Structure 1
Amino acid sequence: MSGSGGRRGSKRGHEEVSSGSSSSASSASSSAGNAKPKVMSTSLKRIQKELAEITLDPPPNCSAGPKNDNMYEWVSTILGPAGSVYEGGIFFLDIHFSADYPFKPPKVTFRTRIYHCNVNSHGVICLDILKDNWSPALTISKVLLSICSLLTDCNPADPLVGSIAAQYVQAREEHDRTARLWTKKYACGGSYPS
């Protein structure tokens, strides 16, 4: 009696598993119809891969990772490069990935105020790889390295703030003094600006 009951139970268990599988399959196919485009999953895989890489091997003086649990919203910190007018500063940046990433560039903005001809008062950065020269082969690590390079050598020929670019070219000492003051005032607190 117990043998047949065991078989019946195992057969019933098998039927439940089978029906559970078909139920799962049908719910998976119905949810696939409601799912976001495949680009979303491609972007998420790429973002997760870049997070693993930047966690294991971050660019010098940089860090980056998700803000809370949202993989599409990151926070980055860049330490002001030694020997630059930004030395000693801790600069926070927001990084926003779209569902089209890596086919479209991330949106990267300074949250910490910075006196720089290639960064405007809203934190927008004038950097060719964040616009027309973006390539899916680029990564957040490479973007952060480019931003660090911009902090060492600004590009007054392609400014977002013309007055700062003109001052950089025509009155470099005054420019450098102001940039150091801003770094001390806005970038030496070490906390994410609200």
Structure 2
Amino acid sequence: MDLALPKRIIKETQRLMQEPVPGISAVPDEQNARYFHVIVSGPEGSPFEGGVFRLELFLPEEYPMSAPKVRFVTKIYHPNIDKLGRICLDILKDKWSPALQIRTVLLSIQALLSAPNPDDPLNNEVADQWKMQEAEAIKTAREWTKRYASETQQQILNQSSLPTSTTQQTSSTTNN
């Protein structure tokens, strides 16, 4: 663990490793402890059930005064996640508070998979289908989950030594 990291990040990371959130794995990158390789299992009963989704989470220098930057790497059909993997979640924007933690963000993303909100979309096309033809949208979400999120957690972990540059470049973009 990098000694230059604030104590808060070190403590949050240790807690994530010692008390993992069910269905979520968040592992800090070996070369940058502000960058996490995240795996979220699709929640039971959701169109994403059975899927294993890869995300990137980056803690900016201003953390915890500003929210983590998070995006889906795995392609997903969801009204609150756009084609670039950006996530529309209030706690990643105006509802962020320094009292929140990485763990809270990950649980909120998992909850968003359980309950997509087409009334606050980031992907209008998907949201429109979700509102007008929900059964068809759910079917498409299941198909995409099968097609793009069918890697096993072990396969993803084996790839987790990916370079961190993509998130560091996108960390200047805002989460919507």
TM-score normalized by the length of structure 2: 0.83
Structure with more helix by fraction? 1
Identity between Structure 1 and Structure 2 (%): 45
Does residue 141 in structure 1 map to residue 81 in structure 2? no
Give the superposition deviation at 1:64.
0.2
Does residue 89 in structure 1 map to residue 51 in structure 2? yes
Instruction: Find the aligned partners of 2:139 and 2:41 in 1 and give their Cα distance.
Output: 19
Q: Which amino acid aligns with 2:31?
A: D
Q: Which amino acid aligns with 1:115?
A: Y
Q: Which amino acid aligns with 2:131?
A: V
1:78 maps to 40
Instruction: Find the aligned partners of 1:93 and 1:44 in 2 and give their Cα distance.
Output: 23
TM-score normalized by the length of structure 1: 0.76
One of 66, 70, 73 as aligned partner of 1:104: 66
1:19-168 alignment, distance < 5 Å? 41=4, 44-168=6-130
Backbone CA RMSD of aligned residues: 1.6
Q: Deviations over 1:33-57 (max 9, x none)?
A: xxxxxxx95x532211111111111
The alignment of Structure 1 onto Structure 2 pairs a total of residues equal to 154
Give the superposition deviation at 1:175.
0.2
Structure 2 residue ranges without an equivalent (≥5): 163-176
- Secondary structure of 2:38's match? strand
Instruction: Find the aligned partners of 2:80 and 2:6 in 1 and give their Cα distance.
Output: 30
Higher relative contact order (CA 8 A, sep 6+): 2
Instruction: Find the aligned partners of 1:177 and 1:68 in 2 and give their Cα distance.
Output: 38
2:172 maps to none
The answer to whether the 8 Å contact 1:44/1:71 transfers is no
Structure 1 residue ranges without an equivalent (≥5): 1-39
